[in-house]
Structure 1
Amino acid sequence: MEKRKLRFWEIWNMSFGFLGIQFGFALQGGFMSRIFQTLGADVDSIPGLWIAAPLTGLLVQPIIGYLSDNTWSTRFGRRKPYFLIGAVLASITLFIMPHSPVLWVAAGLLWILDSTINISMEPFRALVADKLPEEQRSNGFVIQTLIIGIGTWIASNLPWLVNKLGVTNEAAAGIIPPSVVVAFSIGAFVFILSILYTVLTTKEDPPTDLEKFKREKSESNFIKDFKESLSTMPSTMKKLGLIQFFSWFAFFTMWSLATPALTQHTFNAPSPIAAEYNMADLAQKAVYDAANLKYQDAANLVGSAMGVYGLSSMAFALILTFYTAKNTINRKYIHMFSLLLGGLGFIYMYYATPDTLIYSFVLIGFSWGSILSMPYAMLSSSVNPDKMGMMMGLFNMFIVIPQIIAALGGINFLYKLIGTDHINAMLLAGISLILAAISNFLITDKNAISG
């Protein structure tokens, strides 16, 4: 059955839940390292604390993809039940996270948060392929990217904004500042409300052949389907996997180490280590409090600057939204050029000042906007639509494996080959994105490239 073309607002409504998902990811990406440092983590241990994020994605996304492929309810739909379950659990975790009393609690909550965000996110990718005809898929993924950009920018600025509105940025040693607590609480409400909006405004289409679907569902087996999907993975998906490897290694490096690297290198405000101060001495406590406030203020500014990559990814998405509504594009070269810009943005961080740091994130935003749309558009043209959830989940392996490698010591080992200063991790991220850009030359499938 041929799928009908959807109007802009129909695509917008079905993608709107990504606003909440990105609130969760942006708060996690922009401020988890800050929470870890506040609770006493040293910089080189932070990537390891982040390992929860990729590991949960590795486990959760293929399973959720498989389950949603094999779900159909006339009342609840196919993908929507997973949106909603993930949203409820993620919102609760976002609310609790900044109240973590010690480091191990924050690390444990990150496992839960990333798992639940992944439960909501994976089916959104499959929903675009479910509902949109081939000629609208680039447009659909680009509109998702537009909403993601809005969410990234707003969420990344929340601690700074609530601080400007009068919520203090000061806190005792080992306590998360109230500005961060309020920001995470706002994120929790936005997450659940935006997912509810998509659930209530979007109707899912039933399987084309319902009897065949029921028969295949009764015969399906996750292990069997997983092995079959791995063995039948198209070559384009494997090539995209290499691009994704370098791309997500770079962004994991940014999320885990940008705050400690930039507060130290760009703002000259490293996180003070409470154990190095005699808190019983009022003079030393005053020195610590001043250094901690300077760090917390710098971390707010790093978060705000980081939010700019959401704005530029939004601009990227807006341009492509209007263009792809009526024209085809060369996905390969758009992705290549965007990744190159992001690589240059990371490298510029080494030379940036507090006033010019935003230019790095402007360039990074173009690569982020492309990463969130072009690989998925190319992939959706290359795989079996009946297995879209499973294949999107498998594709996530190419996202999480580089992050696991990075978290298990890959970042620390490689950036120290450049130099011991933490800012060199951002140079490593730039090199990785440039390698991702060059890898686009491997993509040769015309159906994947043009759309």
Structure 2
Amino acid sequence: MIEKPRQSLAGLWNISFGFFGIQIGFALQNANMSRIFQTFGAKIDDLSWLWVAAPLTGLLVQPVIGHLSDRTWLGRLGRRRPYFFAGALLAALSLIAMPLAPALLFAAVMLWVLDASLNVSMEPFRAFVGDMLRKDQHAAGYAVQTAFIGAGAVIGSIFPWALEHLGVSNLATDGGIPDTVRFAFWFGGAALFLSVLWTVLTTREYAPDAMAAFDGPVEAQDEAPSLAARSYAVSLVWLTAGALVIWAVGKLGLEKEVYLLGALLAGYGIASAAAIALARAGSPNNMLSSIVGDFSGMPPLMKRLAVAQFFSWSALFIMWINTTPIVAQRFFGAADATSPRFQEGASWVDVLFATYNGVAAIAALTLLPFLARRIGQARTHIVGLLCGAAGYASFFVMPDATWLIASQIGIGIAWASILAMPYAILASSLPQKKLGIYMGLFNVFVVVPQLLVATAMGSIMNRFFPGEPIWTMAFAAATLLLAAAAMTRVDRLVRT
């Protein structure tokens, strides 16, 4: 077994530069799709259903792409690059087509296509860093990737605002999409495609025989025997849990979005039963059985990281959904979305979000590598999560909206750590032959908390804190504390 060549700073740049454009695409989507939907007449109550594309497509697409990319080798095109190039091409076309939408249905369909394409492109990048770097460079590699994520998010978020200040019309004339949004999406499509193309053209993946020489012989992990021997009882438990959630929606008057949670639980029960049946029928190598087997057979370290990841992303999604009403109501004294003061608050949230993304980009290149070298990756992540918890809790004590900039420093450090440290720890511990599928399955613990927050948080707030969105920040702070506690178990395992 021999070591991989050490990558230079230019090599680290080339490996992750594609993520810069991908994040511009995500930022444009996150900042403007509700605006586009409402322009075409969507009601506020329907936005969550339209937005479900983002987490749902990630849940479905990323494990599939991870499974396929682990088994791909196209010569000079490589293993991961064909997928993030194809995804970038489709995403760029979607960004170009989106502002040309003639009606709500077209815009909704294009959101699903856009998000699926972004996930196809994004998933292999996580594994790509692990493929290309030696273990002692994993933290640096994911830190550079996180810096590009932060920079792309800042540019994508402020680009429509910048165009307006340059004199481009921000008016939705004749029920259409404003020129600021239209031009920003076209810019985003070009930036996304060109940045991914840069990575495709400036990198060359290691062939399978080279990877074997670097990592030593890796025994194929065939989950089929254990899957075939598994009882259908666990599948029945998942199916029953989903049915009970669906029943409870009508019985307890929960928000209608909770139906989706029930459907996902029941759907996994059906999928696991089908995978067991296929394995018992002598078809061990089909995609469904492989994915279900890998999910149930995750390494112990990954399972512990998954708990921390679940709580971390619960806090993030709480923030993304609720920061605008919190800031507008608590700091600008406006709960009515039609009032000028509410719009001032919403604009200030754009500044706050750009701030925490900018802090994340800087922290990823400076603070995180410094701490990781001295206290280790797991403890660095604990520090980052505690900074985020303090940032969320500080919303309760800040005297005015300007002081919320200080809150964003802690949140930005946490965001940088969430994007870098878990993946660096994973890439250094997972078998190379399954790096893609495990990275895709790890995304489940990014997506499920988002779906859970989207479906359950509304019911909790309406029941216990009606009209007081500030209390969602207490939930966000508490979940990051739980994530930090979960990381102590990871730290103990890493150090044993």
TM-score, normalised to structure 2, is 0.78
User: C-alpha displacement at 1:314, in angstroms?
Assistant: 1.1
Deviations 1:132-185 (A, max 9, x none): 111111111111111111111222211221111112333359654332332222
* Counterpart residue type for residue 124 of structure 1: F
CA–CA distance in structure 2, aligned partners of residues 17 and 308 of structure 1: 22
CA–CA distance in structure 2, aligned partners of residues 187 and 236 of structure 1: 37
Moved more, 132-141 or 171-180: 171-180
What corresponds to 2:417 in structure 1?
A: 370
What corresponds to 1:317 in structure 2?
A: 364
Deviations 1:194-232 (A, max 9, x none): 00110110111101279999x999x95322322332233
Aligned partner (choices 288, 313, 323) of residue 223 of structure 1: 288
* Counterpart residue type for residue 413 of structure 1: S
Query: In structure 2, do the counterparts of structure 1 residues 253 and 27 end up closer, same or farther at CA, with 3 Å as the change threshold?
Result: farther
2:95 aligned with 1:49, yes or no? no
Query: In structure 2, do the counterparts of structure 1 residues 183 and 350 end up closer, same or farther at CA, with 3 Å as the change threshold?
Result: farther
Query: In structure 2, do the counterparts of structure 1 residues 99 and 430 end up closer, same or farther at CA, with 3 Å as the change threshold?
Result: farther
Moved more, 22-31 or 304-313: 22-31
What corresponds to 1:245 in structure 2?
A: 310
What corresponds to 1:254 in structure 2?
A: 319
What corresponds to 2:277 in structure 1?
A: none
- Percent of aligned positions that are identical: 43
- Tell me if the contact between 1:160 and 1:300 (Cα under 8 Å) persists in the aligned partners: no
Query: In structure 2, do the counterparts of structure 1 residues 169 and 343 end up closer, same or farther at CA, with 3 Å as the change threshold?
Result: farther
CA–CA distance in structure 2, aligned partners of residues 34 and 423 of structure 1: 23
Deviations 1:372-414 (A, max 9, x none): 111111112222111100110111111111112222x212123
Q: Which has the higher contact order (CA 8 A, sep 6+)?
A: 1
What corresponds to 1:391 in structure 2?
A: 438
CA–CA distance in structure 1, aligned partners of residues 106 and 327 of structure 2: 26
Moved more, 418-427 or 55-64: 418-427
User: C-alpha displacement at 1:296, in angstroms?
Assistant: 5.5
- Tell me if the contact between 1:37 and 1:43 (Cα under 8 Å) persists in the aligned partners: yes
Q: Secondary structure at the match of 2:171?
A: coil
Moved more, 121-130 or 357-366: 357-366
What is the alpha-carbon root mean square deviation over aligned residues?
3.0
CA–CA distance in structure 1, aligned partners of residues 329 and 131 of structure 2: 46
CA–CA distance in structure 1, aligned partners of residues 348 and 386 of structure 2: 25
Deviations 1:232-259 (A, max 9, x none): 3111111111111111122223333434
* Counterpart residue type for residue 445 of structure 2: F
User: C-alpha displacement at 1:321, in angstroms?
Assistant: 6.9
Query: In structure 2, do the counterparts of structure 1 residues 385 and 328 end up closer, same or farther at CA, with 3 Å as the change threshold?
Result: farther
- Tell me if the contact between 1:414 and 1:428 (Cα under 8 Å) persists in the aligned partners: no
Query: In structure 2, do the counterparts of structure 1 residues 78 and 225 end up closer, same or farther at CA, with 3 Å as the change threshold?
Result: same
Q: How many residues align?
A: 427
User: C-alpha displacement at 1:126, in angstroms?
Assistant: 0.5
User: C-alpha displacement at 1:435, in angstroms?
Assistant: 2.2
What corresponds to 1:65 in structure 2?
A: 66
Gaps of 5+ in 1: 274-290
2:142 aligned with 1:145, yes or no? no
2:369 aligned with 1:332, yes or no? no
TM-score, normalised to structure 1, is 0.85
What corresponds to 1:286 in structure 2?
A: none
Taking the TM superposition and a 5 Å limit, the aligned residue runs for 1:106-145 are 106-145=107-146
CA–CA distance in structure 2, aligned partners of residues 233 and 163 of structure 1: 49
Q: Secondary structure at the match of 2:143?
A: helix
Moved more, 58-67 or 109-118: 109-118
CA–CA distance in structure 1, aligned partners of residues 38 and 322 of structure 2: 11
2:349 aligned with 1:302, yes or no? yes
- Tell me if the contact between 1:349 and 1:357 (Cα under 8 Å) persists in the aligned partners: yes
User: C-alpha displacement at 1:23, in angstroms?
Assistant: 0.6
Query: In structure 2, do the counterparts of structure 1 residues 59 and 318 end up closer, same or farther at CA, with 3 Å as the change threshold?
Result: same
* Counterpart residue type for residue 394 of structure 2: Y
CA–CA distance in structure 2, aligned partners of residues 152 and 73 of structure 1: 32
